[in-house]
Amino acid sequence: MSKPIEFKGYALTDPTKWTDLKVIEFQPKTFQADDVELTITHCGVCGSDVHTLTQGWGDAKLPLVAGHEIVGLVTRVGDNVKEFKPGDRVGVGAQIGSCLSCRACKDGYENYCLQAISTYNAEYPDGVVTQGGYSTAIRAHQQFVFPIPKEIDSVHAASMLCAGLTVYSPLKTHGCGPGKKVGIVGIGGLGHYAVLWAKAMGAEVYAFTHDDSKVDDIKKMGADHIVNTQKKEFWKDYPQTFDILLSTRDVMGDKMPLGDFLSMLYVHGRFITVGLPDSDDPLPSLHAFDFTSNGCLVGGGHIGSKQECLEMLELARSKGIKPWVEEMPMHDVGKALQNVHDNKVRYRYVLTQDLA
């Protein structure tokens, strides 16, 4: 018998020093028959981690280990688990639990379950606080564990499990495919995945960015067109054009011309937002007129289901899609977080294990 897993991680202990994480030991989820335990090898750094650690979405439960783009190796499975065995390479994303019995869960929309449990900064019914992937190990119900195809490297798979899935799910749901014009708004971690997936799904892809320094990268990612949102009234060049506009912006501010974005949608086109700004940063207000010229719809998304995650991994495997990521040792997490906060990341950081 190998020695028991130690659960240690880089935790926020003082919200005023949100990039200065301290190594702590923590109590994992109470192990149950449907659970899978894994030792973590890789964890991506998500914008959600920054919003949570800076308290932008409210007070965090301290001490808190963030990180929800996790890949590792299975060390233990419960009696009900048939899909996985010790040694398998698997992943865990931003969600780690749901009721599994409500209408949404039964319909394969467990990511919309009203009792969904987030991978960190949430609480299990028995009071154990969930801790994320900037750590040595994690336990998860098997529904929230994903097998990683052998053709996809762990460093590439990690950030697919939140960033990748969060944009794959709405692209799939809203009909991205051949013959569709799809605009991706904001080309960061999520947006770069959206360009890669939408292109692989066969759509004509337009990337919206205000950042000229990203133009060469975006072309290499495969976007067919690049729209510079610094150009005055750029929306006037694309009346009734897009079937889907997928926004990954996580800052709205006063300058987001939402009504003008809607004017670029084709008839019954959909503006879908997956970026989640801070609590005090609402969507800009709209007028009923904004919906009448094209009958457009506005919506959102929340991560994705296991079924969608498996489809996404198969798309990446079959088409050989690799995300644009930079590796860092896990102890550099503070630097990675600061760069994500400052918009300096190209296009995702993936931390490699150095505690275990």
List contacts with Zn ion (CB under 5 A): 46, 48, 94, 98-99, 102, 105, 113, 162
Q: What is the DSSP string of 33-71?
A: TTEEEEEEEEEEE-HHHHHHHTTTTS---SSEE----EE
Those residues with Cβ within 8 angstroms of residue 130's Cβ, 6 or more apart along the chain or in another chain = 29, 96, 117, 118, 119, 120, 121, 122, 123, 124
Smallest distance from the beta carbon of 70 to Zn ion, in angstroms?
11
Is the Cβ of residue 13 or residue 101 nearer to Zn ion in the bound state? 101
Of residues 164 and 269, the one with the C-beta less far from Zn ion = 164
Contacting residues for 153 by C-beta, under 8 A, at least 6 apart: none
Q: What is the dihedral of CA 261, 264, 270, 274, to 10 degrees?
A: -40
Q: How far is the CB of 235 from Zn ion (least distance, A)?
A: 29
Q: Whose Cβ is closer to Zn ion: residue 94's or residue 246's?
A: 94
In the bound state with Zn ion, the residue whose beta carbon lies nearer, of 296 and 330, is 330
Nearest approach, Cβ of 47 to Zn ion (angstroms)? Answer: 7
Q: Which amino acid is at 273?
A: T
* Closest distance of CB 103 from Zn ion, Å: 8
CB 188 within 8 A of CB 47: yes
Residue number with CB closer to Zn ion (154 or 305)? 305
The residue (of 36 and 162) whose beta carbon lies closer to Zn ion is: 162
CB of 68 to Zn ion, least distance (A): 5
Beta bridge partners of 146: 91
CA 120 – CA 29 distance, rounded (Å): 11
Considering beta carbons, is residue 44 or 269 the nearer one to Zn ion? 44
Shortest spacing between CB 189 and Zn ion, in angstroms: 8
CB-based contact 182:265 (threshold 8 Å) = no
Asked if 84 contacts 44 with a C-beta cutoff of 8 angstroms, the reply is: no
Nearest alpha-carbon partner for 198 in 321, 306, 94, 48:
321
Residue whose tokens read 């290499």: 220
Closest to Zn ion by CB, 66 vs 77, is 66
Rounded least distance, CB 99 to Zn ion, Å: 3
Phi first, then psi, for residue 310 (nearest 5°) are -65, -40
Shorter beta-carbon distance to Zn ion: residue 48 or 131:
48
- Give the DSSP H or E segment for 271: strand 265-273
Q: How far is the CB of 158 from Zn ion (least distance, A)?
A: 11
Cα–Cα distance measured from residue 337 to residue 20, given in angstroms and rounded to the nearest whole number:
10
What CA–CA distance (Å, rounded) separates 74 from 90? 7
Shortest Cβ 162–Zn ion spacing (Å): 3
338 CB burial (10 A radius; 0-12, 13-18, 19+)? middle
Q: Which conformational region is residue 55 in: left (phi greater than 0), alpha (psi within -120 to 50 degrees), or beta?
A: left
